[in-house]
Amino acid sequence: MENQPAQLGVRIESLRIEALSAIAEASDSGGLKESRVRFLGKTGSVSLLSEGMRTLSKEERPVMGKLLNDLREAVTAALDAKESTLTAEADAAALATIDTSLPGTGAEAGSLHPLSLLVDRAVQIFRRLGFAIADGPDIETEWHCFDALNTPADHPARNEQDTFYLPDGRLLRTHTSSIQVRTMVANPPPIRIIAPGSAYRRDEVDATHLAQFTQMEGLYVAPGVSLADLKGTIEFFFLELFGPGTEIRFRPHFFPFTEPSYEIDLRTEALDGKWMELAGCGMVDPAVFEEVNAKRGDSVYDPEKVSGFAFGFGLDRLAMNLTGVSDIRMLTENDLRFLSRFTA
């Protein structure tokens, strides 16, 4: 075939028409890809025409070269434009199958455990009285749990029947009172703290006992703290928690680390009007201050200069009363039917 300039010009023009109409007719990306190879590929029509340039004269070459370039650019632009049209159409078609009126897959909101809710409420009430939160380890030394709290080695709580001992002699704290000791050893007075946390005893688990339970400890030490402060604090707290009409009673009791000591009972018509035992409390025994001073190596807890009160109550029993749960084990079984009843 001759490659005269005029003829080449005609062939370029007819290839342009052929290519543009093939591209316009392509109905999917597969067809469009075929057109790209057919016209612009290494052995495609435009490339083959370019080879004809070799037979042209020096003067004709730039002219035809420009025409061929224009053709390549026009075909490329048409292919690109068609490709974005097809992509947009495919996207629209995919979106059209989505029924936006269908309900979505909602994210289920969890809720806090009833004990966490109670701890939060208790903390909020004590915050208003200026109490800060203190903490301590669940695995304790005998000294922090017993000795420093004036609880001698022959005390029944130190029996292996009652307390979980670790092989190294440490133990799972039997009460949060160990946090009293840790706080005083680490900080000089005045101290005003509450400490919610787990406590552990070798109790047979039944409807009213758990081997791991939750307590909240309180400690206030400063010059001139009195039994009246203790009573006022405790009454304020439980009235806030249970509401007006709640009666509080202090019964003399014994704890090694407080003197005098009391048990606190509460009665409210809302809860069958019977007295229930809630907490232990008392004035910090001077022997505890002396132990703390010895450990600190100073005498900032001089029993002649500072006094304090302490209290501790079990939160599980409280949570049961406030929520009407009859079996304490429900608090640890993680049954969602039970847990989802409580929302903040």
Taking CB under 6 A as the binding criterion, the range among 60-68, 275-283, 298-306, 330-338 that sits at the site for ligand PHE is: 275-283
Report the site for ligand PHE in 212-271 (rule: CB under 6 A): 255, 258
308 binds ligand PHE (CB under 6 A): no
200 binds ligand PHE (CB under 6 A): no
196 binds ligand PHE (CB under 6 A): no
Taking CB under 6 A as the binding criterion, the range among 92-100, 101-109, 225-233, 305-313 that sits at the site for ligand PHE is: 305-313
> Could you tell me the two tokens for 52?
């004809």
Q: Exposed, middle or buried, 144 (CB in 10 Å: 0-12/13-18/19+)?
A: buried
User: Which one of residues 175, 182, 192, 317 is an interface residue with ligand PHE (CB under 6 A)?
Assistant: 175
Q: For the chain, what is the radius of gyration of the CA atoms?
A: 42
Written as one string, the DSSP assignment of 175-223 is STTHHHHHHHHHSPSPEEEEEEEEEE--PPPBTTB-SEEEEEEEEEEET
Applying CB under 6 A, the site for ligand PHE has a residue count of 10
126 binds ligand PHE (CB under 6 A): no
Q: Tell me the pairing of strands 132-133 and 191-200.
A: parallel
Residue with tokens 């989505």: 98
Nearer to ligand PHE, 64 or 278 (CB): 278
Q: Residue 202 in contact with residue 163, Cβ under 8 Å?
A: yes
192 binds ligand PHE (CB under 6 A): no
Q: Determine if the peptide bond prior to 260 is cis (ω within 30°).
A: yes
131 binds ligand PHE (CB under 6 A): no
CB of 299 to ligand PHE, least distance (A): 23
Which residues form the interface with ligand PHE (CB under 6 A)? 175, 177, 255, 258, 280-282, 310-312
